Structure 1
């Protein structure tokens, strides 16, 4: 039988409704599994088992009374460090942050609390979310359950690791240049970076989105029912729409006749690893055999676009760090300090020109995608890199060479997902990005679900080292 902590959210809710499953038993199963894994992964902080069990008991009472709060009542969820939860500190991954408790839940956390989800823990992230790894001056180094010597990615590092390790079915991360999709790709899970404003957040920012991180497309679709509900605090949110998120499961017949662009080169940054290219090309064949019309796309990003966004973010971080005390800045990860300090001599004109690349990227992405219904590409040009590296290059002056496929869809506000499409010769997952037209979040889920059905069997999820050894005996 499938262990309770391995069950998808829909199965848990169905079991609660029938009285066949108990939220308390599920919580205990997840906590026990976390206990076996967490010493190796460092995916969580603020793990408080007694509070978890108290929430589960409350949920169980509601289900027995036939009065669940919502479609995720009793389902365990983790929430990324930078999404505020009432009464908890929000360190943003850095030892430089004031640890005052948040006075209110940020919108994604509020929606989860309203639906009765069981808050398992917060998940770890790098300093200020500005790395695609789990390296942090505040949290322990997060690791990838597929290979403990590798990074889970970032900045939703702990969330990606927790989802792949089976810390329950639901996890919430954020993304401003790839921070949902990169860890999803490197951890072999599914995520949706929605259209900007589809999921309200606070504080909002250009390109920034929250999104679900799950093992299956269906669980992410279920989360979207809750996370997409309106919240007035997000000044950039979209008008609320009643979207039939449950119809994501009907995507199997959607591929016939779709125009799908195949983007194999980003146009900037690191060259694509041959194993990554081969996996994405194999996925394209799956789409073609299902009746889609797949056509090659020319790269539309340029190194100038990528460098401009990098330089603007450096200046933003440089200004932020000038606003904190020197002793606090000294606690920031040295890689981040060096990256931000490199902007100290930038002129006003240089900052303006750097900022202009955000709009240039948006226009280029929209124009390039106009001829297609969806675009498929690698999530990252390379597989997961060493866990103690800040980025694939590990060079603070070349920090974003791996986000050429992901960042344009933050700036164009288009939805983009990551779904596993294969493995390297050493067994590391490879992520396929599926991007859609702006506002077509449901379409992306449906296409990803169709591929999920057609891609065939996947490798078993990784197990804690002690359990993996027992299975080999």
Structure 2
């Protein structure tokens, strides 16, 4: 425990923000080694219930934390995150660790090098103590995987943490330290953040160099506070030449989060345009968030969603074909080890024509055009993240039908294809105390503005509810 100020409740080390940990290291209130041991003790209580981790390496982390402790004792930290515990999603390569992509069909080969986001975190002195779980090939918004055990939601163990950054979401909500790195190609940091009560940023495409790069694919922070997400972005956004889609290095002041909503034009998007119907509790949280911004001086108007049935079905066809391309290279025996849901979904691509697939890819261009048009008139969009409050832990998706796999991503996926930055932040809870996220979307490249709006909302919303506690034995 750190020594609290007189008006502050005692906070466990594992619950402290990265910002507070750095301040504590600097003031010599506690050391990186002490913090890590507290996190590891906490994980031992939670992990049997939520199964968030892969390639957990407490001994390697202890050695890293010990070296960090020695640097802080000399007053010579090596980087921005020196000594801060971090987890990294399984599909972001870390040297020497296999990358199964959540799928039992993938050969286990040690990664030859750190991928760019992992390299940046390591260079900044972060204590990488584990990877986190994901579903097969990252193509589910679920904690269900043919390779990893089922990952569950700490707020309610019967519910799904979301995905594909499933373990990262569960680890963040359970208090496995402050910083968690996920990836997102259609909502995969924002959906688990929504269902786990966290802050997540899907940056503008290319803001965080990634390898391998792909259309709409980003890596982004998943944290409990906006300040921690910004701190992580200050490290992750540093350049790496391995990503041919990365943006030019930019001198963004990631600490400049003070942003007044006054006179900003905000579009409230309650109807995504297609997909699953919006549940009442989710709608109420999004409307309440818009009213909070309105009370702070923003000009809020309702706007139509930009997704159409044709766009969503087009993306589905494109991704089915992409997934079948991967699976078709495997032997029948290897293919059979993939999650049946994924296999069934992808196999239907054999019935698609080349024109069907190119039409599907062209949906990405139509989405870009619609997003650009929308942001001619407004500065930010407020919307739900997910149309549903939650769904069962054992399901692959809220509808759980491989013929209708993406009905729940109509609020999130457009911003991957259009490359706009989008954040999820907790906006409230349902009557049973389950978290409900709000999405804040900005113009392309306005990552700091989106975080600034999230920070403003954090203040308008008021303090978060207490985080979940481990189940009693």
TM-score range, shorter-chain basis? Answer: over 0.9
Correspondences of 1:350-369 after superposition (within 5 Å)? 350-369=356-375
Distance 1:354 1:93 in 2: 25
Does 2:159 correspond to 1:150? yes
451, 458, 463: which one aligns with 2:457: 451
**Aligned residue number for residue 376 of structure 2:** 370
**Aligned residue number for residue 179 of structure 1:** 188
Correspondences of 1:313-462 after superposition (within 5 Å)? 313-462=319-468
**Aligned residue number for residue 179 of structure 2:** 170
**Aligned residue number for residue 59 of structure 2:** 50
Shift of 1:426: 2.0
217, 221, 224: which one aligns with 1:215: 224
**Aligned residue number for residue 4 of structure 2:** none
Distance 1:18 1:327 in 2: 57
Q: Specify every segment of 5 or more residues in structure 2 that has no aligned partner in the other structure, as ranges.
A: 1-9
Shift of 1:264: 0.2
Aligned with 1:390: secondary structure? coil
Correspondences of 1:212-361 after superposition (within 5 Å)? 212-248=221-257, 250-251=258-259, 254-361=260-367
Distance 1:320 1:464 in 2: 39
Distance 1:299 1:205 in 2: 25
Note the alpha carbon deviations across 1:207-229, whole angstroms, 9 max, x for none.
Answer: 00000000000000000110000
Distance 1:268 1:426 in 2: 28
Distance 1:310 1:96 in 2: 22
Shift of 1:324: 1.0
Distance 1:462 1:366 in 2: 40
Distance 1:370 1:124 in 2: 39
Aligned with 2:83: secondary structure? coil
Distance 1:186 1:353 in 2: 32
Distance 2:368 2:142 in 1: 25
Shift of 1:9: 0.4
Distance 1:125 1:16 in 2: 32
Aligned with 2:349: secondary structure? coil
Distance 1:64 1:440 in 2: 38
Note the alpha carbon deviations across 1:37-90, whole angstroms, 9 max, x for none.
Answer: 000001001112111111110100111122211010000000000000001011
Task: State the 4+ residue runs in structure 1 displaced beyond 2 angstroms.
Answer: none
Distance 1:168 1:8 in 2: 8
Shift of 1:458: 2.4
Correspondences of 1:30-45 after superposition (within 5 Å)? 30-45=39-54
Shift of 1:99: 0.9
Note the alpha carbon deviations across 1:344-384, whole angstroms, 9 max, x for none.
Answer: 11111111211111111111122122211100000010012
Distance 1:369 1:184 in 2: 25
Note the alpha carbon deviations across 1:293-318, whole angstroms, 9 max, x for none.
Answer: 00110122101100100111001111
Aligned with 1:357: secondary structure? helix
Does 2:214 correspond to 1:205? yes
Aligned with 2:377: secondary structure? coil
Aligned with 1:247: secondary structure? coil
**Aligned residue number for residue 129 of structure 1:** 138
TM-score by length of 2: 0.97
| Worse-superposed segment, 304-313 or 422-431 | 422-431
TM-score by length of 1: 0.97
